[in-house]
Amino acid sequence: MDIITYIILTFLALQNLNLIINLIFKQNIRANNTKIKIKEDLISVLIPVRNEEENIGLLLSDLTKSNYNNLEIIVLDDESTDRTFQICKRFSKTDNRIKVYKSNKLAKNWLGKNYACHQLSEIAKGEYFLFLDSDVRIKSDLILDAVAYIKEKDLKLMSIFPTQIIKSKGEKLIIPIMNYILLSLLALIFVRKSPFVSHSAANGQFMLFDAETYKKYTPHKVFKSSAIEDILISRYYKKNRLKIACISSETRVQCRMYSSFKEAFNGFSKNIKMFFGNSYFLAFMFSGICLFGIVPILIYQFDYILIYFGFSISIAILYSLISKQNIILNTILFPIHQLIIFSLVINSILKSNKRKLIWKGRNIYSS
C-alpha cells in the first residue's frame, strides 16, 4: 500500500470511527425526574426574526402548547418587509406570555441576527435564555426536558441540531451534507466530556444558555460581526472552561432550513469554513479527498477498491441512521453530496475574496 492510499483509507476509517461513536454514545435529553427535581424557573424564549411570515406563526403556536408553564416568549423583528411583525402581534394579543419588539437600526460592525440576539438578551428576565430560529418546530415536552438536562449536567450552554425536514429534490441533494460533515468529523459526546476547545460545536437554531453566565460573557456581542457566531460561541465557552453540550437529531426539534437547492447552497456557503476550524485549507483538503480520493486507488491501487467502497458506503449508512434520514437515498446520492461539498468550499472561498455573501437581503460582510 502506497502512502497516498494509506492516507485516504485512514481518513475514511476515522470518519467511520466518529460516526460509530456518535451512534453508540447518542445523548438522550429526556428528563429523568428520579435524578433531578424540576423547579420551573422562568425561561426566556428569544426569537430573532426577519421576513419569516411563513414560519413564525407555526413556532409561536408550538410554544403556546409547551408543557413548561413559566415562559416568557420574546420576538424581535429585525426590519422585516413582509407580514412577520403583524403575525407576531396577533399572537401576542391571544397569549400574554408573548411580547413583540422592533429592532433598533442595525448598529455598525454588527450582523443583523447577532444584534437582534443581543437586544433580546437585554430585554429578557429569565434564569435561562433559549434562542430559537423561527423556522424551528418543537414538541410540547421539549423545553422541560432541555432544562432538566442542562441542570443535571451542570451546563452553561446546550445546543441541539434539529432533525431536518427534507421535501424537495433540491433539498435532498444538499441538506444531508450538514450532518455528514458534522457527525463524521466530531464525536459529539466529546463536546461535553472533552476539555479541548477543538471539541466544540453548536447550532444557532436551538441554543439554551444559563442566563447569569450569558450576561457575564455576552457572547453575541463578542462575536457581533461573525456569520458563524454559534460555533465561535461554543469555542469561547470551552476556552473559558464553561461546560457545554451539543445534541444531534433530537426528533422533538425539527427544522426545514431551506426550501430549495439555491437557498441552501447560499446558506451553507456562509458557514462551511467553520466546520473545519475556520480553515479553508482543511476544508479544501477534506472535500478534495472525499471527491477525488477514489482516483489514485483506481489508477494505482485497484486491489483496495473494495475497501474504499466499503468504508464509503458505511459512512453514508451511519450518518443517515444517526440523522434519521433516508439511508438508501443518501447512499445513492453520496457521490453527489461529495461533489456539492467541494463546490461549496470553492464558492465560499471565491465569495469571501470578493467580500460578498448575501443572506436575508444583506451582505454579511458589509456591516
CATH number of the domain within which 50 lies = 3.90.550.10
> What is this structure's pTM?
0.89
143 belongs to a structural domain: yes
**What does the pLDDT profile of the chain (367 residues) look like in tens digits?**
689 999 999 999 999 999 999 999 989 888 655 445 556 789 999 999 999 999 999 999 999 998 888 999 999 999 899 999 999 999 999 999 999 999 988 888 899 999 999 999 999 999 999 999 999 999 988 999 999 999 999 999 999 999 988 888 999 999 999 899 999 999 999 999 999 999 999 999 999 999 999 999 999 999 999 888 999 999 999 999 999 999 998 899 999 888 889 889 988 887 788 788 778 999 999 999 999 999 999 988 888 999 999 999 999 999 999 998 999 999 999 999 999 999 999 998 887 766 555 555 555 554 4
Domain count, the chain: 1
Gap between the Cα atoms of 80 and 49, Å rounded: 8
Is 202 inside a domain boundary?
yes
User: Which residue pairs, CB below 8 angstroms and at least 24 apart, start in 282-290?
Assistant: 283/345, 283/348, 284/345, 284/349, 286/181, 286/185, 286/341, 287/338, 287/341, 287/342, 287/344, 287/345, 288/342, 289/7, 289/8, 289/11, 290/338, 290/341, 290/342
The secondary structure of the chain in percent helix, strand, coil, rounded to multiples of 5, reads: 50, 15, 30
Q: Are strands 43-49 and 71-77 parallel, antiparallel or unpaired?
A: parallel
How far is it, in rounded angstroms, from Cα 153 to Cα 244?
Answer: 9
- Which amino acid is located at 67 in the chain? N
Residue 296 lies in a domain: no
The verdict on residue 83 lying in a domain is yes
Question: Does residue 130 lie within any of the structural domains?
Answer: yes
Task: Map residue 13 onto helix, strand or coil.
Answer: helix
Please give the pLDDT value at position 20. Answer: 97
Look at residue 236 in the predicted model and tell me its pLDDT: 97
> Among 169, 357, 209, which residue's Cα sits nearest to residue 273?
357
Is residue 342 situated within a structural domain? no
Beta-bridge partners for 89: none
Tell me, yes or no, whether 358 lies in a domain.
Answer: no
Range of the domain at 52: 38-166+188-256
Q: Does residue 235 sit within a domain?
A: yes
